[in-house]
Structure 1
Amino acid sequence: MVSELEFEELSRRAEIDGTAPRVGVIIDRGGQVLLLARHDTGPIKATLKLPGTTVLPREPLAEAVVRGVHEETGLAVTGIRHHVGDFDYLSPDARPVRRLHFAVDVAATEPIRLSVHARYVWAPLDGDLPVTSSIRRILENYRNLVHP
Structure 2
Amino acid sequence: MIDSALLDRLVTEAEADEVAQLVVGAVVESEGKVLLLKRPADDFMGGIFELPSGKVELGEDLKTALVREVEEETGLQVAEATAYLGSFDYLSGSGKKSRQFNFVVTVTVTAPEPVVLQEHDEFQWAPIEEELPVTDAVKQVFEAYRELQAN
TM-score by length of 2: 0.92
Give the 3-state SS of the residue equivalent to 2:49 in structure 1: coil
The unaligned stretches of length 5 or more in structure 2 are none
Rounded to whole Å, the distance in 1 between the matches of 2:5 and 2:31 is: 29
User: Does structure 1 residue 11 correspond to structure 2 residue 16?
Assistant: no
User: Does structure 1 residue 131 correspond to structure 2 residue 134?
Assistant: yes
The unaligned stretches of length 5 or more in structure 1 are none
The residue aligned with 2:71 is 70
Rounded to whole Å, the distance in 2 between the matches of 1:55 and 1:141 is: 22
CA distance change for structure 1 residues 45 and 90 in 2, over 3 Å: closer, same or farther? closer
Give the 3-state SS of the residue equivalent to 2:101 in structure 1: strand
**8 A contact 2:40–2:46 mirrored in 1:** no
Give the 3-state SS of the residue equivalent to 2:26 in structure 1: strand
The residue aligned with 2:36 is 35
Rounded to whole Å, the distance in 1 between the matches of 2:115 and 2:47 is: 21
**Equivalent residue letter for 1:131:** V
Deviations 1:87-108 (A, max 9, x none): 0111122211000000001001
Q: How does 1:49-88 map to 2 (within 5 A)?
A: 49-88=50-89
Q: Percent identity?
A: 36
| Root mean square deviation, CA, Å | 1.7
Deviation at 1:66, TM superposition (A): 0.2
Rounded to whole Å, the distance in 2 between the matches of 1:110 and 1:13 is: 36
TM-score by length of 1: 0.93
How many residue pairs get matched? Answer: 147
Give the 3-state SS of the residue equivalent to 2:118 in structure 1: coil
Deviation at 1:45, TM superposition (A): 7.8
Rounded to whole Å, the distance in 2 between the matches of 1:11 and 1:123 is: 30
Deviations 1:91-131 (A, max 9, x none): 12221100000000100142111001111000011111110
Deviations 1:24-51 (A, max 9, x none): 1000112110000123359x98221000
Give the 3-state SS of the residue equivalent to 2:144 in structure 1: helix
